[in-house]
Amino acid sequence: MVEELLATAAVLGSVALVYVAAAAKVVKQYEKGVVLRFGRLRSGVRAPGFTMVVPFVDRMHKVNMQIVTMPVPAQDGITRDNVTVRVDAVIYFKVVDAAAAIIRVEDYRFAVSQIAQTSLRSIIGKSDLDDLLSNREKLNQGLELMIDNPAVEWGVTIDRVEIKDVSLPETMKRSMARQAEADRERRARVINADAELQASKKLAEAAGVMSDTPSALQLRLLQTIVAVAAEKNSTLVLPFPVELLRFLERAARDPSASSSPASPDRRHAAPEQPSLHVHDPHLHDLVDAPRETAPAPAPQVRDDDAGTAGCI
């Protein structure tokens, strides 16, 4: 009799142990438990920690409450300005209502993935290429609103949506590169033209100052000569000074600077021709005038023995 009681107690203990093992559930800190009893939702969601359910009667679903990072597969589309692009994105979402995520949608992860792909294709068709490349913040906000509206009913909230990459055809990339190069060239030409305008104004002011002080022009000439002479691989050609020609002009006009009265014929003598002729619009031609007054020498004629005349 005692043995039967011990055997019965052992069986009951084993059944109780199996029941406790089947009924005991542990919900992690980042999870919540949704219990269905005979297919009906039990009121209240099981909090994290140790909990008990009725074996073979209750069925508990654990829902992850962490923020889920889900990549959106790349989608091919045509923008509003008829450019074929390939865009991919990433979405961040989390479950805020565990019961709704289990009851209202079969698989909330798959549902969020599909609505993200369709919304991404829709946002591509409504946007221009420039917006996809430079105005992504606005597109991210619009994409987030498009995904969040149906996801709220599933107990899911969209935390953030980011467009990762925009792939363009090679022909479009070359066209954009040429456009950027042309724009930079235009800006460079505008800058050069502005620099030339400023330099011309400064040169005009410098010319006005030099016209008031002629010696400044000579000093500037000497500075230029010094700057050029510093280069050892260049040849310096010094021009004939205009001031020397002006001095000669004044000397020719002044009678006191001419020859002495004892030899008046020397005044009309042809002066020595300079080796270099420099034309100055403010200077009379000192070389051509004496050339007109000088008489041509008479040819020498001699008679040869045959009686013919020859010119030498």
Give the tens place of pLDDT for each residue, 194-239. Answer: 999 999 998 888 888 878 877 777 787 778 777 777 777 767 666 6
Q: Per-residue confidence at 114, pLDDT binned at 50, 70, 90? A: very high
pLDDT of 171 higher than 80: yes
> Which of 23-37, 64-78, 188-202, 218-232 shows the lowest mean pLDDT across its residues?
218-232
Mean pLDDT value across residues 98-126: 91
Token pair belonging to 92:
């961040």
| Contact indicator for 87, 124 with CB cutoff of 8 Å | yes
pLDDT of 51 higher than 50: yes
Q: How far is CA 256 from the centre of its chain?
A: 75
Residue 126 CA to residue 49 CA, distance in Å, equals 48
Mean pLDDT value across residues 181-189: 92
Which residue type is seen at 270? Answer: A
Q: Mean pLDDT: which of 64-68, 79-83, 300-304 is highest?
A: 64-68
Mean pLDDT value across residues 118-144: 89
pLDDT computed for residue 291 by the predictor: 45
Higher pLDDT residue, 273 or 149?
Answer: 149
pLDDT computed for residue 203 by the predictor: 86
pLDDT of 278 higher than 90: no
For 189, residues 6+ apart whose C-beta sits below 8 A from its C-beta are none
pLDDT computed for residue 173 by the predictor: 84
> Which of 53-62, 150-159, 165-174, 214-223 shows the lowest mean pLDDT across its residues?
214-223
b/e per residue, 227-241, with b = 16+ CB within 10 A?
eeeeeeeeeeeeeee
Q: What is the pTM of this model?
A: 0.56
Q: Per-residue confidence at 3, pLDDT binned at 50, 70, 90? A: confident
pLDDT computed for residue 37 by the predictor: 87
Phi-psi region of 37 (alpha: psi -120 to 50; beta: other; left: phi over 0): beta
Q: What integer best gives the mean pLDDT of the chain?
A: 78
Higher pLDDT residue, 213 or 112?
Answer: 112
